[in-house]
Amino acid sequence: MEKIRFILFNLAYTHRGKGTPLVLLHGFPLDSSIWNEVASLLEDSFELIIPDLRGFGESSTMEYPTTMDDYASDIADMLDYFRIQKAAIAGHSMGGYVALAFARLYPERVSGLALVSSQVLADPPDPKEGRYKSAADVAEKGIGGVVETMTPKFTSDPRLQAVAREIMEKQQPAAYIGALKAMAERLDFTSLLSSFFFPIVIIHGDADALIPVERAREIKAAVPNSYYVELKGVGHVPMLEAAKETAEALKHLS
């Protein structure tokens, strides 16, 4: 992957295709490779920019606190680097939280927004505390516990569980810790939805064991003119489980 050298770290990215600029953001604790199949299906319609969020994949590890706004400002810096003023932003799960943070900070730079297996709600107190416990557990014992817990929740397909596990196992403990704390402290973005004057695409599997499909239905109800795709029998990783349908839905951002 290519890298942009920022002052604090290097941001790794893939840049391919021609058309409307579209940023694809991965979820936790994954990296940009989850988008590979979807990217092949989109590169004739979009100029794709697919980063590894700070700490993940081939981007440098960050050893100090990170917020959703930090991830979002990295995306703004990345777009500046490519001299792209406005782009569509699609985020998977935690990547969706980053996309929402980006849209809050830089609404004028968003041509469209896609939330893939994501949500607009903040963490309630118990799950928030759980994130801090997981972060402490990773700091003390490593990433194994989180990998074990999350693997079966991504998808019921054993082959794709192995794919997700392999990606999760490659990530650094510092990336887990930074992202867990950033997720715990993220804002509730519900009230932001009514201020979005660009196309919104929502893609969610009805068998998602990590973020229930009700969260996506609530967004659809709040933004009736959004483009909504509910994938039957699909879990938390539609880009792996239903790449074609995911790519087709994302084309609504062109």
Least separation, in Å, of the C-beta of 189 and ligand MLT? 13
- Which of 12, 25, 28, 53 forms a contact with ligand MLT (CB under 6 A)? 28
> 97: part of which helix (H) or strand (E)?
helix 94-105
HEC string of 105-157 equals: HCHHHEEEEEEECCCCCCCCHHHHHHHHHHHHHHHHHCCHHHHHHHHHHHCCC
Residue 57, Ramachandran bin (φ over 0: left; ψ between -120 and 50: alpha; else beta)? left
Helix (H, G, I), strand (E, B) or coil at 28: coil
Q: Which of 14, 20, 33, 93 binds ligand MLT (CB under 6 A)?
A: 93
Of 182 and 250, the one with the shorter C-beta distance to ligand MLT is: 182
Q: State yes or no: residue 79 binds ligand MLT (CB under 6 A).
A: no
Cβ at position 241, least distance to ligand MLT in Å: 13
- x-or-dash string of contact with ligand MLT, 155-184, rule CB under 6 A: ----------------------------x-
Distances (CA, A) of 236 to 97, 105, 248: 15, 27, 18
Identity of the residue, 35 or 47, whose beta carbon is nearer to ligand MLT in the bound complex: 35
- 8 Å CB contact between 22 and 72: no
Task: Rule CB under 6 A: choose which of 39, 68, 75, 94 binds ligand MLT.
Answer: 94
Residue of 11, 22, 23, 27 interacting with ligand MLT (CB under 6 A): 27
Helix, strand counts (H, E) of the chain: 10, 8
- Per CB under 6 A, contacts with ligand MLT among 193-212 are 210
* Residues found near ligand MLT in the complex (CB under 6 A): 27-28, 93-94, 183, 210
